[in-house]
Amino acid sequence: MRYRLIAMDIDDTLLNRKKELTPITRDALIKAQKNGYIVAVASGRLPYGVRPYAERLRVPEFGGYYMGFNGGAVMNCRHEEISAGYLDSKYIQPVYDILRPTNATTMVHKGDVIYADSKVNAYTHIESDVIGLPLNVVDDLPSFIDWDIHKFLISGEPGELKEIESRLIAALGGEVDIYLSAPWFLEVMPKGINKGTGLKRICDDAGIDISEAIAFGDSYNDVFMLKDAGLGIAMGNAEDEVKKSADRVTADCDHDGIAVALRELEII
C-alpha cells in the first residue's frame, strides 16, 4: 500500500513522557515531508496548543494540517479552520448535573483561556500548565457559558473518572461521545466528532483517501483515527485496549516510536 499522509497524537506519541519533541522524531517527520508525505498533528488540545508543534515540524511549510479538540477544529497549513464541531448547548446542564456531586473539575475553552468550575483538584491545572494558558475559576460554570463550546474537559482522580464515564454513558451515551484522553482527563464531545472524522476531513481536503493515511496514537481518544486510517499504529506505551484497535505496535514514545515505524515502512 502506498501511504501519503502521516497523522499523530501529541502527548505520549509525538512527545515523550517528559513532554519533549526529540530531534530524532522531529527530523524523521521533516524527512518524511521532504519525501512527499503530508503530516497532520492531531490532539485533544485546543488549536492554540497544537500549532506550535505543527510549526516545529514545519507542517505549514509543507502544506500539512493540524487538528484540535479531538477533531472539533481542523486547520490547514494557512491556519484556517476548515472544519468545526460544537457541543449542543442543551447538554451543558445535564452533564454538569451528573458532575456536580463528584470531586471532578469541569473545564471549557474560550479563545485562549480555560474556564473551570470551583472544584479544583490535583489535575485541574495540567491542561493550563502544559499549554501555557491562563485558567480562570468561576462559581456557576453552566450559567457562565454563553458561547459555543467544542467539548467538556473533565479532570479528576482516574478511579472516579471511570465511574463518571459510566454514569455519563448511561445517561447520554447515545447522544454525545464520551471517552478518556488520559487517565485523569475525560472528554464529552459532540456525537460523531473525533480524531477519525477529523482525519477524514483532512484527507478530503488533501484529495486523498483515508486508506492512504497512517495514524499514530496511545490513548482512547486516538482509537477513532487508528481504526479509520489505512494503517493504525499504537505506541509501545499505549493502553492495552488501544493496542488492540491498531494494526501494529511500534516502540514507545521514549524510544522514538514514530521514527522507528517510519524507518520500518521505508518512508524515511
Same domain membership, residue 77 and residue 40:
yes
pLDDT interval class at 245 (50, 70, 90) = very high
CATH number of the domain residue 214 falls in: 3.40.50.1000
132 plus 174 within the same structural domain = yes
Instruction: Examine the domain organization and report whether 203 and 74 are in the same domain.
Output: yes
Q: Which of 27-31, 45-49, 95-99 has the highest mean pLDDT?
A: 27-31
* pLDDT for 253 beyond 90: yes
Point out the domain boundary residue: 190, 224, 249.
Answer: 190
Per the structure, the complete domain to which residue 66 belongs is given by: 5-85+193-264
Domain endpoint, select from 190, 218, 242: 190
Query: Do both 104 and 74 map to the same domain?
Result: no
Same domain, 163 and 207: no
3-state secondary structure the chain: CCCCEEEECHHHHHCCCCCCCCHHHHHHHHHHHHCCCEEEEECCCCHHHHHHHHHHCCCCCCCCEEEEHHHCEEECCCCCEEEECCECHHHHHHHHHHHCCCCCEEEEEECCEEEECCCCCCCCCHHHHHHCCCEEECCCHHHHCCCCECCEEEECCHHHHHHHHHHHHHHHCCCEEEEEEECCEEEEEECCCCHHHHHHHHHHHHCCCHHHEEEEECCHHHHHHHHHCCEEEECCCCCHHHHHHCCEECCCHHHCHHHHHHHHCCCC
Clarify whether residues 94 and 169 are in a common domain: yes
Q: Would you say residue 167 has pLDDT above 80?
A: yes
CATH number assigned to the domain comprising residue 102? 3.30.1240.10
Among residues 54, 20, 19, 18, the alpha carbon closest in space to that of 38 is found at 54
Q: Are residues 81 and 201 in the same domain?
A: yes
Q: In the chain, how many domains are there?
A: 2
* Residue finishing a domain among 143, 159, 190: 190
Residues 94 and 186 both lie in one domain = yes
* pLDDT, tens digit (0-9, with 9 covering 90-100), for 172-190: 989 999 999 999 999 999 9
What mean pLDDT do residues 73-94 have?
A: 96
Domain shared by 257 and 139, yes or no: no
Task: Say yes or no: 93 and 186 in one domain.
Answer: yes
Is the separation of the CB atoms in 121 and 102 below 8 Å? no
How far out from the chain centre does Cα 244 lie?
A: 19
Q: At a CB cut-off of 8 Å and minimum separation 6, what does 171 contact?
A: 94, 98
The verdict on 226 and 142 lying in the same domain is no
Q: What is the rounded average pLDDT for all residues in the chain?
A: 96
- Please check whether residues 52 and 120 belong to one and the same domain: no
